[in-house]
Structure 1
Amino acid sequence: MPTPGIDKGLAADFAALSPTLNARVGVVIHAVGSAPDDPIILGDWQSGVAWSTSKVPLVVAALRLQDSSEITEAMTKAITESDNAAAESIWEGLGDPTQAAEQVQGVLRQYGDPTIVQSTKVRPEYTAFGQTVWPLVDQNHFMAGAMCDPNNSQVIDLMGRVEDDQRWGLGSIAGAKFKGGWGPAPSGNYLVRQMGVIPTPGGFTAITIAAEPNSGSFADGTEVLTRVAQWLGEHLADLPAAQCGS
């Protein structure tokens, strides 16, 4: 259901799009800046496993902990390639699993995100932090705030350099800064999600988006996110937006 009081045309257009997507979809939209009090919420998907979107606050935490402001090769690979080995090495550098989770959690708290970061491997074949349950609304709180913090500028820059084979969804919008995450549930059905910011006529808008395609396939999930991104592109002038510092 859409958030009460949002632009009725925007909500109606999304309601018309939704049945054609063949997926459970969620979208949260808010202008960048302080933690959103009243984001636009569309669709019926609300929360699930973070997968590789969790690599963004992970890299932010690592950058703040180290003695220099240098972006390392592991940080670059974790964001631009979604390299799991690189992300695991960053996680290990934050201390033991409990300490690492607390470091990443501290980054989220700074931007009004109450999410609890997973510290243990609930599914042994996947990273602990990647199995964090991250609601779209809370993820949007993080993204909207983190975008406007100058301490994060290098990480946001990496989100604009994601490799071509991962530039589906928000990556199809010119100038987008984003990070995707994807993986199968124990049933084998894929969740595909993204977080990011997109440029609009009024400034920048934070977007968090997720899809569970009816087919369960990763390819269909990326296609759904791309179709939603195209829809967002058609409504750029209708989206809430701001300039950082305004």
Structure 2
Amino acid sequence: MSDSRIRKALGACALALLLTTSCAAQNGSVEEIESSTITQAAAVSEPKIEMTLPGTLAAGFQQFQASMKGHYGMAVVAVGGDDVVTFGDWTTGPAWSTMKVPLTIAAIRDSSANGGFAATAAITESDNAAADVLWAALGSGQEAASAVEAVLREGGDAKTVIPATRTRTDYSSFGQAEWTLNDQVRFASRLPCLNRVSTVVKLMEQIVPSHRWGLGAFNGAEFKGGWGPDTSGKYLVRQFGLISTARGQIAVALAAQPDSGTFSDGMAAMDKMAALISEHLGELASGKCSS
């Protein structure tokens, strides 16, 4: 048989190579991790074959993005896990109000007095004035930035830098921090396992009804949204959080930057991505923190 026929035969036979997510315990923080298939693909050296199996979350996301105009991203990983699975072409941008989660953790750790009204309003209502109070409570701009970064590092985000001063005069310095989808979902996957975060995680389950789009559709989800315009006025809409299943928890990060630039279109995209996750929840790896 000729070399070309051999290659074709190999390509026809190698239809699927499983791409699975699995998670290992990190520093003893995880006692149970579930592993399952996200998508299936094949690759042979010559010619290279790549394919996404119909019916998977990967295929669903491809169909979603093909039907939308703009840039969208999704990242998922088991709580405590390492194997982040990403979808879409959006990868990084300003954190906006999603950064209020590590900010509020830092403020409460600095003083339990910060765990009252300001913390509640900053998380459940995404109140900017309340978040500014928490930022100021941490000291100078550099001290506050360092405190928030310390929470991020503890949560497995080794790279994100918090500006000590405002880079855009009308918006908070912490909200303009560049936070990649991957770093955000890694932080989410460690969040419930960190010390002294229970107050903030509980508040993330009490988001006000008007902000309960996207991940808010999941019963008991602990999440936080963030949104805002770029310098041309076009909105980026983000969310990250935790979804509970019978097997454990899944960390999710979502981002939508519709070509229309409207906040409403960003919210609608979040709803569609959350619906996709719901349809394929059984495919996703989950984990639990040790008690």
- Per the normalisation by structure 1, the TM-score is 0.94
Is the CA contact 2:107–2:114 (under 8 Å) kept in the aligned structure 1?
no
Query: What secondary structure sits across from 1:162 in the alignment?
Result: coil
Q: Distance in 1 between matches of 2:97 and 2:165?
A: 16
Question: What pairs up with 1:97-176 in 2 under 5 angstroms?
Answer: 97-114=141-158, 115-176=160-221
Contact 1:23 1:224 in 2 (8 A): no
1:21 positional shift: 3.0
- Find the aligned partners of 1:142 and 1:41 in 2 and give their Cα distance: 15
Structure 1: segments with no counterpart, 5+ residues:
none
Q: Contact conserved, 2:155 with 2:194, CA < 8 A, in 1? A: no
| Letter aligned with residue 168 of structure 2 | R
Structure with bigger gyration radius: 2
Q: Secondary structure at the match of 1:192?
A: strand
Aligned to 1:17: 64
CA contact (8 A) 1:202 1:237 kept: no
Picking from 20, 24, 32, the partner of 2:79 is 32
SS in 2 for 1:134: strand
Q: What residue in structure 2 maps to residue 75 of structure 1?
A: 119
Corresponding position of 2:278: 233
How far apart are the structure 2 equivalents of 1:124 and 1:18? 34
When the two chains are superposed, the root-mean-square deviation of aligned CA atoms in Å is: 1.5
TM-score where L is the length of structure 2: 0.79
Which stretches of structure 1, 4 residues or more, deviate above 3 A after TM superposition?
none
Question: What whole-Å deviation, never above 9, does each CA across 1:27-52 have from its counterpart, x for those lacking one?
Answer: 1100112xx43201111100000000
Q: Deviations over 1:70-122 (max 9, x none)?
A: 72100000000000000001100101001100000000001210211121111
> Do structure 1's residue 212 and structure 2's residue 257 form an aligned pair?
yes
For 2:233, what is the secondary structure of its paired residue?
coil
**Contact 2:99/2:174 (<8 A) preserved:** yes
Secondary structure of the residue aligned to 2:228 is: strand
How far apart are the structure 2 equivalents of 1:89 and 1:199?
A: 31
Aligned amino acid, residue 143 of structure 2: Q
Q: What is the distance in 1 between the residues matched to 2:267 and 2:130?
A: 23
C-alpha distance in 1 between matches for 2:115 and 2:156: 25
Q: Is the 8 A contact 2:114 2:134 kept in 1?
A: no
* Structure 2 stretches lacking a partner, 5+ long: 1-17, 21-37, 40-55
Given residue 211 of structure 1, which amino acid in structure 2 is its aligned partner? A
CA distance in 1, matches of 2:290, 2:271: 30
Aligned-partner Cα distance in 2 for 1:126–1:116: 16
Q: Percent identity?
A: 45
Whichever structure has more strand as a proportion of its residues is 2
**Count of aligned positions:** 240
Looking at structure 2, the residues matched to 134 and 63 of structure 1 have their Cα atoms a distance apart, in angstroms, of 22
Distance 1:89 1:150 in 2: 23
User: What amino acid sits opposite 2:106 in the alignment?
Assistant: A
- 1:184-233 CA deviation, whole Å, 9 max, x = no partner? 00011100000100112321100011000111000000110011001111
SS in 2 for 1:195: strand
